[in-house]
Structure 1
Amino acid sequence: MSCQRGQYVTAAVVTAGAISGAYYAYRWYQENATKIPEQWTQVGTLKDIYAYPVKSCGPVIMNKAELSILGLKDGWLRDRFLMVVDEKNNFVTARAYPEMLLVHPSVKSSVLTLKHADMEPVHVNLAEVVTNQCAKTARVWGVEVPVFDCGHETSEWISRILDKSSNNFRLVYYASHGARTLRAGTSKIYRFTKNDTGALPDEVPFNLVNQASVDDLNTRLKETQVTPRNFRPNFVMKGGKAYDEDNWKFVKIGDNVFEIIKPCFRCILTTIDPETGVRNVNADPLETLKTYRQSTEPAARRSAGSSPRMGVQMSLRSAPGGLVKLDDPIYVA
């Protein structure tokens, strides 16, 4: 039987993996040559960097990270490269299973560790997963994606957390070097390219939140307070003015250039406390955001409905392989 296998590490495949990754990065860069602005204005600095190895689970706090076309990385630590699927291989998220927010991943070398307060930690060697597994198909928002299964032990561990079953859910790992296919319903009013969807995020590989905008939101909230972690960003900027991000087209962090594809329109996930997994009884901050942060642009409003904006969705426009680190200057154009 032949099947698609990973080309990531192990002594036998490390060279092939490096060559393959470099080829995809070079091809992406050639296909996505964008006219980079020449004039930039500094608006703040990089306050926090977050990667979410498992979609909808807890973050890994980073001091620095490498930029790939598929998102943040640091060796085997990749942003949203793993996800939980149900028995029909459809992705599941904390929108339906808030307990996922209390699963805390970490990656050391090629070993992923998952921790939860009520469980003993579980470990899975991702190098073995991608070397020994055949790729199968899962779905994210109806789009088929190739994945490797992370094994029975992690399946049982996650299933016990989510519904106390033994095998209703499985953990899978993205099995491609390229971005996943755009979903059919992707809005035509935004400039998505075929390489802008990342691995397993909802829409794009990079998300930035402005701390000043979160601070302003907190002045409007009556019975709760939120942090940028409610919005699950990759980057948090400090030093800016509230909602200035509405007017940006490009962002540069250090020497790395991103194009803003669209505002980030927010969902019910923001109403679940990232520290406790408890839903806000008033559906805040979402309901408060709806009172003043819905798009006024007709086409965007038709696309987003009543979903309010907070943060921006970005794709990389400079060459892959650059580094970002805390306190890097952030410029916009």
Structure 2
Amino acid sequence: MIVSQLCVYPIKSCQRIDLSQAEVNTKGFLGDREMMLISGSGKFITQRQFPQLAKVRVEIADGDITLSLEDGSFPSLTFTAIITGTTIEVEIWRDRLQAIDQGDLVAAWFHQLLNLDRDKVCRLVKQSPEYTRLAAKNYPSEDNIPLGFLDNYPVMLTATASLQELNQRITEIHLSQKQVIPMNRFRPNIVINTTEPFIEDRWSLIQIGEIEFTVAKPCSRCIMTTIDQQQGQKNQLKEPLNTLGTFRQLSEQGVMFGMNMIPKNQGIMKLGDRLKVLETRS
């Protein structure tokens, strides 16, 4: 089992950047989801409300960030991330913390892209190193886990054989309509080439490159998995959620695909690194 893809998502809900190697610390992948959009009330904005965010390409060169749409249907913008300056109280799920506002120019770009009313506010913010966000503890014995603007856990892993199994089941359900779900619907950081579907369910501790990971829990999937990550449009058949619900439903926690993970140390991982299973679940 080897690493076939490494990704970061510098702006939450926008497109990924593929990497040949990744620097990982206890907070996750360096540069992953350090920025996000917020509304006037400070609440985070994602593809759930605005599917067209999936079309926003993010490129980083010499510290500058360029935003564009792949089809060229909207003017591009280049800006430099602000690491000190005006802070805003933001809300992401149950957490409230201070984040650094990225200025009027990039805010206006997203405001126009999302076709917001003039009186609606949209700001881009960057996580401040002075304000730590911690993942919610599920058990009193758990350590404090630093977290960027990800939903729940620092790192997301998916496996190729599991996606193949899912697509096979989707095909059997929709015989008259071809439905092939690409891996980008699940927005992973790490994709592992596997041969046994959902073998990752059995892992509890793994090592990839220099880093050990606690495999915390399966990831409960939401409506974002139904959004085409190139077109920014929702799947009318609500796939892959409908098919996942036929065989990956876990009680009231939702339908599961991929594994949430917590890095135990910092280091480097590269494409082609082998995954070692150190401990399995009983």
Partner in structure 2 of residue 45 of structure 1? 2
State how 1:99-118 maps to structure 2 within 5 Å.
Answer: 99-116=52-69, 117-118=72-73
The 2-side partners of 1:264 and 1:119 are apart by 34
Question: Alignment partner of 1:163: what SS?
Answer: coil
State how 1:117-196 maps to structure 2 within 5 Å.
Answer: 117-126=72-81, 129-131=82-84, 133-165=85-117, 168-176=121-129, 179-183=132-136, 187-188=138-139, 192-196=142-146
The 1-side partners of 2:150 and 2:43 are apart by 14
Partner in structure 2 of residue 97 of structure 1? 50
The 2-side partners of 1:48 and 1:270 are apart by 18
Partner in structure 2 of residue 238 of structure 1? 193
Q: Which runs of 5+ in 2 are unaligned?
A: none
The 1-side partners of 2:132 and 2:153 are apart by 9
Q: Which runs of 5+ in 1 are unaligned?
A: 1-43, 296-300
* Contact 1:178–1:195 (Cα < 8 Å) also in 2: no
Partner in structure 1 of residue 202 of structure 2? 247
Deviation at 1:182, TM superposition (A): 3.6
* Contact 1:179–1:194 (Cα < 8 Å) also in 2: no
Give the % identical residues.
27
Partner in structure 2 of residue 58 of structure 1? 15
* Contact 2:135–2:153 (Cα < 8 Å) also in 1: no
Higher strand share: 2
Deviation at 1:142, TM superposition (A): 3.0
The 1-side partners of 2:134 and 2:98 are apart by 11
Partner in structure 2 of residue 290 of structure 1? 245
Partner in structure 2 of residue 309 of structure 1? 256
Q: Which residue identity does 1:316 align to in structure 2? A: P
TM-score by length of 2: 0.90
The CA RMSD measured in Å over matched residues stands at 1.8
The 2-side partners of 1:177 and 1:241 are apart by 43
Deviation at 1:165, TM superposition (A): 4.0
Question: Alignment partner of 1:119: what SS?
Answer: coil
* Contact 1:45–1:327 (Cα < 8 Å) also in 2: yes
* Contact 1:47–1:237 (Cα < 8 Å) also in 2: yes
Deviation at 1:278, TM superposition (A): 1.2
2:28 paired with 1:71:
yes
TM-score by length of 1: 0.77
Deviation readout 1:131-180 (Å, 9 max, x if unpaired): 3x133211100311221111101001001111244562111000026751
Q: Which residue identity does 2:272 align to in structure 1? A: D
The 1-side partners of 2:143 and 2:192 are apart by 26
* Greater CA drift, 140-149 or 79-88: 140-149
The 1-side partners of 2:131 and 2:28 are apart by 11
Question: Alignment partner of 2:114: what SS?
Answer: helix
Q: Which residue identity does 1:135 align to in structure 2? A: T
Partner in structure 1 of residue 270 of structure 2? 325
2:218 paired with 1:263:
yes
Question: Alignment partner of 2:83: what SS?
Answer: helix
Higher helix share: 1
Query: Residues 57, 266 of structure 1: CA spacing in aligned structure 2 closer, same or farther, 3 A cutoff?
Result: same
